[in-house]
Amino acid sequence: MATRSDRSDILERGPRPSRHIAGLTPYDAVSSLEKMAAVPPDFPPLKLDWNESTVPPSPGVVRAIMEFLGDSHPLNWYPDLRADALRKGLERTTGVPAEGILVTNGSDAALDLVCRTYLDPGDEVVVASPTYGHFLVFAAARGVTPVEVQAASPFAVPTGALLDRLRTTTQLLYLASPNNPTGVVTPAEDVARLCRTFPSTLVIVDEAYHEFCGETCAPLVRTLPNLVVTRTFSKCFSIAGLRVGYLLAGEGVMRELLKLHNPKSVNAVGQVAALAALQDREFRETYVAEVRAAREALVAALRARGAEARSTRANFALVRVADPAGLVRALETVGVFVRDRSHIRGFEGYVRITVGTRAQMAEVVRRIDRLLETRPDLLAPPPG
């Protein structure tokens, strides 16, 4: 019989979380929104830390949202449970049949769904490292410790290292392309080789940034039954706040994913906005071209100022400095918010800068120049 002391201990402890959750460290969801409110008025904030689009959505998206809200569409009803209109639009864009497309609450929900569907405690999961940190949390929540595989350089294509490490018993491989935070692109033919060499391994290719590099594995899902491709509307489509993403997969994988997928999870406004954004091809392509040009201009400007800067094939650039935390703090004083990635193993010293328009990046450089007047060592690379 439990004593009063035992009952007191239980009440103080509260409900016990899953043993897979208890030891998890939350995803590092550091936001600059609160800090932005404190920026001096002479420095309009430049939010360049989470790789969102730096411009509002197209007028067509705004118009579609306003028409939806103003046309007596009942928000008291659940949204289209299959997102049929959006899936049909994605079918035309991706070339993948609508039956092979699943719309999700951002691509994070797609990654989490795959992990919940395919992972049991103790399964082997391999990731190309360094990688997107939130996926590691999704895998760990299933009782799995991912095996992080890194090529000789974090900026090398990881195919060879993955082929050496994967086993026939590997349950899942996660590969971001372009990779976050390195920007490395794994060619589609390499992905096909990985899938065919290890047919019992489910291969996830996270293509959150694919529009900026122009390469994709999407057509492969029609012939490779162990491939899943995830994508998002949070980057070049400018609707990160509405949380819309999707995955592409073959019939067998899709059948399993639908068992756990919540069909009510993608809100009605998000579906309307995503379809309008998808249809405004000119806006999207113009913004992507602008980012590509701005990225190269920013890297050139940083190098001209003595920085060890690196371009990528995504919507961000990298700079390696002796004091990454100091650089981030200094930039915040002039309203520029970037992301310190130096804590990632093999990525020491690196700061990631989201790239926007050429005018925005020119403004970043102007503010850096202002800082360099009193901090000439601000962009100094690490010794050696």
Annotate 253-318 with DSSP letters as a single string: HHHHHTTT--TT-S-HHHHHHHHHHHH-HHHHHHHHHHHHHHHHHHHHHHHHTT-EEE--SSSEEE
Count of alpha carbons within 13 Å of 21, Cβ hemisphere only?
4
The predicted structure's pLDDT at residue 175:
98
Which pTM was predicted? 0.91
pLDDT score at 71: 81
**What would the mean pLDDT of 338-349 be, rounded to a whole number?**
93
How far are the Cα atoms of 165, 187, 256, 310, 340 from residue 184, in angstroms, in the given order?
A: 19, 10, 30, 11, 18
Task: Report which DSSP code applies to 221.
Answer: G
Instruction: Report the C-alpha gap between 120 and 176 in whole angstroms.
Output: 22
Q: In this predicted structure, what is the pLDDT of residue 232?
A: 98
pLDDT of residue 33: 64
Token output for 261 = 């997928």
pLDDT at 1 over 90: no
Give the whole-angstrom CA distance, residue 268 versus residue 274.
10
Helix axes 358-372, 324-333, angle to 10 degrees: 100
Query: How large is the average pLDDT for residues 126-135?
Result: 95
Q: Taking the domain 59-279, which CATH number applies?
A: 3.40.640.10
> 28-56+282-372 maps to which CATH number?
3.90.1150.10
Write the CA distances from 12 to 3, 18, 199, 365, integer angstroms: 14, 18, 49, 53
Q: What is the pLDDT of residues 218-257, one digit of tens each?
A: 999 999 999 999 999 999 999 999 999 999 999 999 999 9
At 253, the amino acid letter reads V
First-last CA distance in the chain: 66
Largest CA distance in the chain: 75
CB half-sphere exposure, 169, CA atoms < 13 A = 4
In sequence order, what are the beta bridge partners of 309? 319
The residue length of the chain stands at 384
pLDDT at 156: 97
Phi-psi region of 214 (alpha: psi -120 to 50; beta: other; left: phi over 0): left
Token pair in block for residue 383? 């010794």
Q: What is the rounded radius of gyration, in angstroms, for the C-alpha atoms of the chain?
A: 22
- Residue in the structure block whose two tokens are 């940034």: 209
For residue 15, what pLDDT is reported? 74
Average of per-residue pLDDT across 355-373: 98
CA distances from 24 to 20, 28, 35, 49, 341 (A): 7, 12, 27, 24, 20
Residue whose C-alpha is closest to residue 278's, from 69, 109, 83: 83
Question: What count of other Cβ atoms lies within 10 Å of the Cβ of residue 145?
Answer: 12
pLDDT value for 46: 96
At residue 178, does pLDDT exceed 80? Answer: yes
Reported as a single tens digit per residue, the pLDDT across 4-55 is 555 555 556 667 767 666 666 665 666 676 676 667 677 789 999 999 999 9
pLDDT at 384: 72
Tell me, what's the pLDDT at 10?
53
Domain boundaries, the chain: 28-56+282-372, 59-279
Q: Which residue has the tokens 């994988």?
A: 253
- Range 208-221 average pLDDT: 96
256-308 residue pLDDT tens:
999 999 999 999 999 999 999 999 999 999 999 999 999 999 999 999 999 99
CA distance 133 to 302: 27
**Tokens at residue 219, please?**
């057509």
Mean pLDDT of the chain: 93
Q: How do strand 125-128 and strand 172-176 relate by DSSP bridges?
A: parallel
Contact status, residue 351 vs residue 336, Cβ threshold 8 Å = no
Q: What is the pLDDT of residue 73?
A: 73
H helices of the chain, in order, are 4-13, 19-22, 33-36, 59-70, 84-94, 106-118, 133-140, 159-165, 188-197, 210-213, 251-257, 268-279, 281-304, 324-333, 358-372
Which range is least confidently modeled, 24-28, 150-154, 292-296, 369-373?
A: 24-28
